[in-house]
């Protein structure tokens, strides 16, 4: 009975919501840019799906991979990232990324405080400007959260807070502007459907710089740092997979054929990535692991991200397989080189994003993109420029930001705090028992 | 009287228990323990990073037996716990000075 009542209330809310959207759309619609209910519904749903990738998805994915004394601090990184970015995005982040272009480099301050960003669609769009804004907000949030995998188990919480605010402002906003906000990479014809460069390369490269500047965890290479809860990580990977449909298919910004194409590409690239990682691992190590399957699926998802709306299903499988293999090598490389990117952000997002960005230039064939294999060799060059520019900008920028943060609050916890664990020393709480 | 402590593979516990019950052994204490011997633990691999897990989970089974029954108890444990591969465990036998049944106050072999 209670459930029934609750559902009735829920339905009437839903009905009210639809009515509101309709009345708003009729009230605010301008010439040539009408709000489309299907498109709007899909983009808002996708925004919520991308949020689910961050909390609880990434929080669980990363939280399971650390030791039990650091699980809360690691989950907190994802949680605080989306909280901070949400506020920054309203005040100045969205304006810097998507405000009117200044020299191809950054947006101006017209949209500060979301001035002029309302329920009416912007020109040429079929969704409310606010829907586009909040969808992009989630992307900014997950990018910052992704980086936290590299600094897990040793960064001061205050340092991460400051880092997150500076990074989304100084690195993410310009990069998003270059590719999606009418900046110089968009002008070149760079293809990045859902954020291979903006989200994955940028977070992966930032992660590498963070790992190098922070240094290794105390006891790295000698202590047992095996994941404390792989079931958390598997659930987290599953949520990432589910949320990625919002991330990729939502990036069509419409409920249309391109969205369906991106949706399909996303699914099969994830599956192919998991199979590829497992195959390499099984052949090379002798055992197929659950963590390997989860990592491979995420690698496939990362790789297909920039290509999702531009490729057919067979290309998507090849890109997914490539993602699984190159990311396995990326993680292998870390073990050889000895930097402590704790949760393999570079290995999976940086390397997978780089492969995906270049592969988009090879396999693009639908949705307005044409790659090398379909008669447009120039696209690979443009993709390489996009990838290279992102590596350099995110790499150098992150280094500068870390030095600033180091000067203001310091980067690492003390050795004693690290040994006790960040949950107790940074947050005064423990996860278990 | 002797105190027998057997460190065995966890999955062999049921067989060892059955073998001892067949002998008429009436009680035992079992603890989940971790340790290593010449086997030196095992390796676990996470995303290609290998960790040497030195302390392997084992079962410690403790029984007190009368001197006359020590040999058959040891033989039963050895037979039931053996797989023939590395890590089968060890049995320690030590003198047991006294036994007291708390409920009745009985002592000696009658209390076992």
Whether A341 has its CB under 8 Å from any CB of chain B: the answer is: no
Task: Read off the pLDDT band of B54 (50, 70, 90).
Answer: confident
Domain coordinates of chain B in residue numbers?
2-111
| Alpha-carbon gap: B53 to the closest alpha carbon of chain A (Å) | 8
Lowest mean pLDDT among A114-128, A364-378, B31-45, B79-93: B31-45
Q: Which residue of A has its CA nearest to B44?
A: A226
Percent of chain A with pLDDT over 90: 88
Q: Which residue of A has its CA nearest to B54?
A: A224
Tell me what the mean pLDDT of segment A131-140 comes to. Answer: 98
Chain A residues within 8 A of B51 when measuring between CB atoms: 224-226
Lowest mean pLDDT among A22-36, A78-92, A259-273, A325-339: A22-36
Q: What's residue B50's pLDDT?
A: 84
A320-346: pLDDT as tens digits: 999 999 999 999 888 888 899 999 999
DSSP 8-class letter at A412: B
Three-state SS at A19: helix
Q: Helices A202-214 and A351-363 sit at what angle, rounded to 10 degrees?
A: 160
H or E stretch covering B59: strand B56-65
Whether A289 has its CB under 8 Å from any CB of chain B: the answer is: yes
CATH number for the domain whose boundaries are A38-427: 1.10.3430.10
Chain A residues within 8 A of B49 when measuring between CB atoms: 225-226, 335
Residue A224 to residue B46, Cβ atoms within 8 A: no
Distances in whole angstroms, Cα of residue A4 to Cα of each of A13, A15, A17: 14, 16, 20
A159-173: pLDDT as tens digits: 999 999 999 999 999
Tell me what the mean pLDDT of segment A67-83 comes to. Answer: 98
Residue B48 to residue A332, Cβ atoms within 8 A: yes
Chain B residues within 8 A of A292 when measuring between CB atoms: 47
For B79-107, give one letter per residue: b (16+ CB within 10 A) or e.
ebbeeeeebbbeeeeeebeebeeeeeeee
Tell me what the mean pLDDT of segment A397-405 comes to. Answer: 98
Residue A161, Cβ neighbours under 10 Å: how many?
17
Is A27 a residue whose pLDDT tops 70? Answer: no
Chain B residues within 8 A of A335 when measuring between CB atoms: 48-49
From the list A259, A266, A264, the residue with the least C-alpha distance to A244 is A266
Mean pLDDT of chain A: 92
Is A22 a residue whose pLDDT tops 60? Answer: no
| Alpha-carbon gap: B52 to the closest alpha carbon of chain A (Å) | 8
Whether A224 has its CB under 8 Å from any CB of chain B: the answer is: yes
Mean pLDDT of chain B: 93
Residue A285 to residue B48, Cβ atoms within 8 A: yes
Is A305 a residue whose pLDDT tops 90? Answer: yes
Task: Read off the pLDDT band of A33 (50, 70, 90).
Answer: low
User: For an interface test with B, which of A226, A232, A340 has the most B Cβ atoms less than 10 Å from its Cβ?
Assistant: A226
Tell me what the mean pLDDT of segment A280-291 comes to. Answer: 95
CB A170 within 8 A of CB A397: yes
Is A26 a residue whose pLDDT tops 50? Answer: no
Q: What's residue A197's pLDDT?
A: 94
Cis peptide before A433 (omega within 30 of 0): no
Is A10 a residue whose pLDDT tops 80? Answer: no
pTM of the model: 0.85
Q: Tell which A residues from 79 to 138 touch B, by Cβ distance under 8 Å.
A: none
Q: What's residue A1's pLDDT?
A: 36
Residue A285 to residue B44, Cβ atoms within 8 A: no
Percent of chain A with pLDDT over 70: 92
Task: Read off the pLDDT band of A19 (50, 70, 90).
Answer: very low
Percent of chain B with pLDDT over 90: 74
Whether A204 has its CB under 8 Å from any CB of chain B: the answer is: no
Pick the CATH number of B2-111 from 3.40.50.1820, 3.40.50.300, 3.40.50.2300, 3.30.70.120: 3.30.70.120
| Alpha-carbon gap: B41 to the closest alpha carbon of chain A (Å) | 13
Is A304 a residue whose pLDDT tops 80? Answer: yes
Tell me what the mean pLDDT of segment A377-381 comes to. Answer: 94
Residue A104, Cβ neighbours under 10 Å: how many?
15
Which residue of B46, B51, B53 is in closest CB contact with A291?
B46
Residue A331 to residue B45, Cβ atoms within 8 A: no
Distance CA A225, CA A239 (A): 24
Three-state SS at B46: strand
Q: Which residue of A has its CA nearest to B48?
A: A332
Is A17 a residue whose pLDDT tops 90? Answer: no
From the list A183, A188, A180, the residue with the least C-alpha distance to A382 is A188
Chain A residues within 8 A of B48 when measuring between CB atoms: 281, 285, 328, 331-332, 335
A207-228: pLDDT as tens digits: 999 999 999 999 998 889 999 9
Task: Read off the pLDDT band of A23 (50, 70, 90).
Answer: very low
CB A301 within 8 A of CB A240: yes
Domain coordinates of chain A in residue numbers?
38-427
Is B52 a residue whose pLDDT tops 90? Answer: no
CB A134 within 8 A of CB A127: no
Tokens describing residue A198: 């903006």
| Alpha-carbon gap: B56 to the closest alpha carbon of chain A (Å) | 14
Residue A331 to residue B47, Cβ atoms within 8 A: yes
Residue A313, Cβ neighbours under 10 Å: how many?
13
Tell me what the mean pLDDT of segment A345-362 comes to. Answer: 97
Is A296 a residue whose pLDDT tops 70? Answer: yes
Three-state SS at B94: strand
Tell me what the mean pLDDT of segment A270-288 comes to. Answer: 96
Q: What's residue A360's pLDDT?
A: 96
């Amino acid at each position: 009975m209670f459930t029934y009542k609750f559902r009735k209330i829920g339905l009437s809310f839903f009905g009210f919501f639809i009515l509101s959207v309709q009345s708003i759309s009729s009230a605010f619609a301008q010439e040539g840019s009408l709000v489309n209910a299907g498109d709007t519904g899909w983009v808002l749903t996708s925004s919520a799906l991308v949020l689910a990738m961050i909390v609880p998805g990434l929080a669980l994915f990363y939280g399971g991979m650390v030791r039990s004394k650091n699980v809360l601090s690691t989950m907190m990184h994802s949680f605080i990232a989306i909280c901070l970015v949400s506020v920054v995005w309203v005040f100045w982040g969205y304006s810097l990324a998507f405000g009117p272009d200044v020299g191809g480099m950054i947006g101006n301050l017209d949209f500060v405080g979301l001035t002029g960003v309302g329920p009416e669609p912007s020109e040429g769009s079929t969704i409310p400007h606010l829907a586009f804004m909040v969808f992009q907000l989630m992307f900014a949030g997950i990018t910052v959260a992704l980086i936290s995998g590299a600094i897990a188990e040793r960064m001061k919480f205050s340092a991460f807070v400051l880092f997150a605010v500076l990074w989304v402002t100084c690195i993410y906003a310009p990069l998003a502007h270059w590719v999606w906000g009418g900046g110089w990479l968009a002008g070149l014809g760079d293809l990045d459907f859902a954020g291979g460069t903006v989200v994955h390369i940028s977070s992966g490269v930032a992660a590498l710089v963070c790992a190098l500047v922070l240094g290794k965890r105390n006891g790295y290479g000698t202590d047992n740092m095996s994941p404390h809860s792989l079931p958390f990580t598997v659930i987290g990977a599953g949520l990432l997979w589910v949320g990625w449909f919002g991330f990729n298919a939502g990036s069509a910004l419409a409920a249309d054929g391109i969205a369906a194409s991106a949706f399909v590409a996303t699914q099969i690239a994830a599956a192919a990535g998991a199979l590829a990682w497992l195959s390499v691992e099984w052949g090379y190590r002798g055992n197929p692991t659950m963590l390997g399957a989860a990592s491979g699926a995420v690698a496939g998802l990362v790789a297909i991200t920039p290509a999702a709306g531009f490729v057919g299903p067979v290309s998507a499988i090849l890109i997914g397989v490539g993602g699984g293999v190159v990311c396995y090598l990326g993680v292998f490389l870390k073990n050889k080189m000895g930097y402590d990117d704790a949760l393999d952000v570079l290995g999976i997002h940086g390397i997978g994003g780089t492969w995906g960005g270049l592969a988009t230039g090879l396999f693009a064939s639908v949705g307005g993109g044409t790659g090398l294999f379909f008669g447009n060799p120039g696209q690979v060059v443009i993709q390489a420029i996009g990838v290279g520019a992102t590596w350099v900008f995110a790499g150098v920028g992150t280094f500068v930001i870390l030095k600033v943060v180091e000067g203001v609050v310091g980067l690492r916890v003390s050795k004693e705090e690290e040994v006790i664990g960040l949950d107790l020393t940074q947050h005064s709480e423990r996860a278990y028992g | 009287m002797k105190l027998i402590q057997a460190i065995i593979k966890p999955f062999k516990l049921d067989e060892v228990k059955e073998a001892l019950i067949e002998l008429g052994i009436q009680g035992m204490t079992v603890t989940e323990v971790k340790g290593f011997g010449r086997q030196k633990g095992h390796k676990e691999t996470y995303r290609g990073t290998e960790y040497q897990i030195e302390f392997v989970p084992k079962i410690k089974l403790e029984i007190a037996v009368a001197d006359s029954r020590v040999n058959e108890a040891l033989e039963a444990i050895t037979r039931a716990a053996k797989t023939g591969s590395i890590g089968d465990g060890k049995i320690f036998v030590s003198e047991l000075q006294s036994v007291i049944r708390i409920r009745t106050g009985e002592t000696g072999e009658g209390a076992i």
